[in-house]
Amino acid sequence: MRKFASHRLYIPHLDLLLRNHTVEIDDTGQVVRYYPFEGETCFTEWLNGLIVLSCDSPEISFDSRHDSVASSTVLFVDENKNIRSVLSENSDNSLLTLNAYYVTMFNVSDMSFSKESRIIRLG
Protein backbone atom coordinates (compact mmCIF):
# COMPACT_ATOMS: atom_id res chain seq x y z
CA MET A 1 0.00 0.00 0.00
CA ARG A 2 1.33 3.45 -0.95
CA LYS A 3 0.01 6.86 0.06
CA PHE A 4 0.32 10.17 -1.78
CA ALA A 5 -0.97 13.60 -0.76
CA SER A 6 -1.40 16.67 -2.92
CA HIS A 7 -2.71 20.24 -3.03
CA ARG A 8 -5.46 19.20 -5.47
CA LEU A 9 -7.21 15.95 -6.34
CA TYR A 10 -9.37 15.80 -9.46
CA ILE A 11 -11.80 13.00 -10.32
CA PRO A 12 -12.91 13.44 -13.96
CA HIS A 13 -15.91 11.08 -14.02
CA LEU A 14 -17.39 13.03 -11.07
CA ASP A 15 -16.09 16.42 -12.27
CA LEU A 16 -14.91 16.85 -8.68
CA LEU A 17 -11.93 18.93 -7.55
CA LEU A 18 -10.85 18.48 -3.94
CA ARG A 19 -8.26 20.36 -1.89
CA ASN A 20 -5.52 18.76 0.19
CA HIS A 21 -6.32 15.07 -0.07
CA THR A 22 -4.50 11.78 0.43
CA VAL A 23 -4.80 8.88 -2.01
CA GLU A 24 -4.04 5.26 -1.10
CA ILE A 25 -3.16 2.81 -3.84
CA ASP A 26 -2.61 -0.94 -3.64
CA ASP A 27 0.30 -2.98 -5.01
CA THR A 28 -1.31 -3.13 -8.48
CA GLY A 29 -1.61 0.68 -8.63
CA GLN A 30 -5.38 0.81 -8.19
CA VAL A 31 -6.94 3.42 -5.93
CA VAL A 32 -8.18 1.95 -2.66
CA ARG A 33 -9.48 5.17 -1.12
CA TYR A 34 -8.99 8.91 -0.82
CA TYR A 35 -9.61 11.20 2.13
CA PRO A 36 -8.79 14.72 3.40
CA PHE A 37 -5.17 15.40 4.30
CA GLU A 38 -5.26 16.47 7.94
CA GLY A 39 -1.58 16.49 8.84
CA GLU A 40 1.65 14.62 8.40
CA THR A 41 1.13 10.86 8.23
CA CYS A 42 3.83 8.20 8.23
CA PHE A 43 4.85 6.87 4.83
CA THR A 44 2.86 9.47 2.86
CA GLU A 45 4.62 11.08 -0.10
CA TRP A 46 3.70 14.74 -0.70
CA LEU A 47 3.36 15.75 -4.35
CA ASN A 48 3.01 19.44 -5.22
CA GLY A 49 0.13 20.27 -7.50
CA LEU A 50 -2.42 17.84 -8.90
CA ILE A 51 -3.31 14.16 -8.69
CA VAL A 52 -5.96 12.81 -11.07
CA LEU A 53 -7.99 9.65 -10.39
CA SER A 54 -8.99 8.15 -13.72
CA CYS A 55 -9.84 4.79 -15.27
CA ASP A 56 -7.58 5.58 -18.23
CA SER A 57 -4.40 7.56 -18.74
CA PRO A 58 -5.47 11.21 -19.12
CA GLU A 59 -4.08 13.70 -21.61
CA ILE A 60 -3.60 17.47 -21.26
CA SER A 61 -5.19 19.97 -23.63
CA PHE A 62 -4.39 23.68 -23.70
CA ASP A 63 -7.69 24.44 -25.46
CA SER A 64 -10.04 26.07 -22.90
CA ARG A 65 -13.11 24.84 -24.81
CA HIS A 66 -12.82 21.16 -25.52
CA ASP A 67 -15.95 19.63 -27.04
CA SER A 68 -14.79 16.64 -29.04
CA VAL A 69 -14.96 13.01 -27.99
CA ALA A 70 -11.56 11.50 -27.30
CA SER A 71 -10.06 8.03 -27.07
CA SER A 72 -8.65 8.95 -23.64
CA THR A 73 -9.80 11.31 -20.89
CA VAL A 74 -8.76 14.87 -21.76
CA LEU A 75 -7.98 17.41 -19.02
CA PHE A 76 -8.17 21.15 -19.61
CA VAL A 77 -8.65 24.40 -17.69
CA ASP A 78 -11.64 26.50 -18.77
CA GLU A 79 -11.76 30.29 -19.10
CA ASN A 80 -12.90 30.54 -15.44
CA LYS A 81 -9.79 28.66 -14.22
CA ASN A 82 -11.71 25.45 -13.44
CA ILE A 83 -10.27 22.05 -14.25
CA ARG A 84 -12.59 20.22 -16.63
CA SER A 85 -12.47 17.00 -18.58
CA VAL A 86 -13.89 15.19 -21.54
CA LEU A 87 -14.23 11.50 -20.75
CA SER A 88 -13.05 8.95 -23.25
CA GLU A 89 -15.62 7.45 -25.56
CA ASN A 90 -14.79 4.06 -24.02
CA SER A 91 -15.42 5.06 -20.39
CA ASP A 92 -17.93 2.92 -18.51
CA ASN A 93 -18.81 4.45 -15.15
CA SER A 94 -20.47 1.25 -13.94
CA LEU A 95 -17.19 -0.68 -13.69
CA LEU A 96 -14.67 1.96 -12.70
CA THR A 97 -11.23 0.89 -11.63
CA LEU A 98 -9.37 4.07 -10.79
CA ASN A 99 -5.66 4.65 -11.06
CA ALA A 100 -3.79 7.67 -9.70
CA TYR A 101 -1.88 9.99 -12.02
CA TYR A 102 0.39 12.84 -10.98
CA VAL A 103 0.46 15.96 -13.16
CA THR A 104 3.91 17.53 -12.94
CA MET A 105 4.44 21.28 -13.24
CA PHE A 106 0.79 22.13 -12.48
CA ASN A 107 0.44 25.68 -11.13
CA VAL A 108 -2.07 25.54 -8.26
CA SER A 109 -2.11 29.33 -7.77
CA ASP A 110 -3.00 30.02 -11.41
CA MET A 111 -4.84 26.71 -11.90
CA SER A 112 -2.94 26.05 -15.10
CA PHE A 113 -0.91 23.41 -16.88
CA SER A 114 2.47 24.34 -18.28
CA LYS A 115 4.08 23.22 -21.53
CA GLU A 116 6.40 21.13 -19.32
CA SER A 117 3.49 19.35 -17.54
CA ARG A 118 3.63 15.57 -17.77
CA ILE A 119 1.28 12.87 -16.52
CA ILE A 120 2.88 10.07 -14.52
CA ARG A 121 1.02 7.01 -13.25
CA LEU A 122 1.56 6.51 -9.53
CA GLY A 123 2.20 3.09 -8.14
- Its domain, for residue 78, covers 2-122
Q: HSE (CB half, 13 Å, CA atoms) of 59?
A: 13
Residue 98's closest CA among 107, 84, 87?
87
* Number of structural domains in the chain: 1
pLDDT top residue among 5 and 41: 5
Q: Residue 94: what are its φ and ψ, rounded to 5°? A: -75, -25
pLDDT tens digits, 35-74: 999 988 889 999 999 999 999 999 999 887 666 666 789 9
pLDDT for residue 11 is more than 70: yes
**pLDDT value of position 85:** 92
pLDDT tens digits, 69-123: 667 899 999 999 999 998 887 666 556 799 999 999 999 999 999 999 999 999 8
**pLDDT value of position 15:** 94
